[in-house]
Structure 1
Amino acid sequence: MKSVSLAITGASAVRVGVAVARALHEYGVEVAGIIVSRGAYQVARYEDNLSPEELKSTLESYGPVYDESDLTSPLASSSSQPDAMAIVPASMKTVAALASGYSGNLVVRAALSILRLGRRLVVAPRETPLGVIELENLARIARAGAVVVPLCVAFYNKPRSLDDVVSFLAGKVLDALGVPNDLYRRWRGG
């Protein structure tokens, strides 16, 4: 995988999206752009005490950052898409828009372009419980070619800290993108 774009939307676990950006950069994958929604800025402030300026500054060290309303971004066009894209975390609003083909912002517009081009789209929802509507929307985007990677905690890797949990989740997203990584302890059998 040479290049990946990343979108961080307004669901809990913005820190996992940041960890994915950092890991892509550390593993030598070009981060073609990072799209941040208004909701993501709000979640980062609430969960991690990060101001919008702090979150943006952190992300800019990994790649160019675009607001969800910036339809002048190169990522707005199918002619300028990277090899893959990940939406981490993916809000149910974003999943619903994607499932219905409603490209009302840069996140969904870029994701739909990735799917139209037959490239890998990884969508990492962070919501629980899931109702029939959410499940149907997730199934719809999976049928369209997206790989759905729910941000679910595992315990076989023996996490000892929140950082271990975040690394596990980021590693699973990188696995789905096809980026080799050693972010978590893999299952080796019992």
Structure 2
Amino acid sequence: MSRPWVVGITGASGAAYGVRLCRFLLEAGEDIHLVVTDAGWRVLKEELGWDVSRRKETLEEQFAPGQTTGRLEYVPNQDIGAKTASGSFRTQGMVVVPCSMGTLSGIAHGASDNLLERTADVMLKEGRKLILVPRETPLHAIHLENMLKLARLGVRIIPAMPAFYQGPQTVDDLIDFMVGKILDCMEIDHELYRRWGSPQ
């Protein structure tokens, strides 16, 4: 049985990045354990118009179970006893996208106040992939110090900074570029954007 990825969505702007990543992974046959913070649900409502009053049903509608080879398991952020909270539950790693500065701070300081933070702590202690996609601007010294602290622990920091060398024509092109950079760090093949030097 393949090991799942954990995907966290928090209250930073950029919920579309997390949704696009989940859709790609499910279509590629990867299993996902999805954790969404309360603020993350609010951003899904504000930015994407999701009905967050019926969370499980909305996820089923958005990710269409049965139409992909991968499986999605939604785990409430308050469920601190969920499988991903234990290092004995084996995963491929975790991506937090988008990652708010509050969540990043909690991870950097080992707070483990909720399932998302605890799962990230498990990734650190077990030496698994942990990828954070912060979306904030401008950044002050505390933000930068927290990112530096995590980078020194081996965490991959991928700020939500889309590039333009691939000639994006739509917002979806910009989203795909960022998701492609995340997939590169996950070591998952994709063709979401034109790589530098490749023919147009």
Structure 1 runs not aligned, ≥5 long: none
In the comparison of the two structures, how many residue pairs are matched? 189
- Structure 1 outlier segments of 4+, above 6 Å: none
Whether 2:177 is the aligned partner of 1:177: answer no
Check conservation: 2:93, 2:129, Cα contact below 8 A: yes
Check conservation: 1:44, 1:55, Cα contact below 8 A: no
Q: Name which one, 1 or 2, has greater alpha-carbon Rg.
A: 2
Instruction: Name the aligned partner's letter for residue 56 of structure 1.
Output: L
Query: Percent sequence identity over matched residues?
Result: 35
CA distance in 2, matches of 1:80, 1:149: 26
Check conservation: 1:77, 1:113, Cα contact below 8 A: yes
Report deviation, 1:73.
1.5
User: For residues 94 and 159 of structure 1, do their structure 2 counterparts lie closer, same or farther at Cα, with a shift above 3 Å needed?
Assistant: same
Whether 2:110 is the aligned partner of 1:107: answer no
Instruction: Name the aligned partner's letter for residue 186 of structure 2.
Output: L
Instruction: Name the aligned partner's letter for residue 165 of structure 2.
Output: Y
Check conservation: 1:69, 1:106, Cα contact below 8 A: yes
Whether 2:139 is the aligned partner of 1:125: answer no
RMSD value, Cα: 1.8
Structure-1-length-normalised TM-score: 0.93
**Deviations 1:30-88 (CA, angstroms, capped at 9, x unpaired):** 22x00011001101111111121365332574510112111131111111130111000
- Look up the match of 1:42: 42
Report deviation, 1:5.
0.9
Check conservation: 2:3, 2:90, Cα contact below 8 A: no
Structure-2-length-normalised TM-score: 0.89
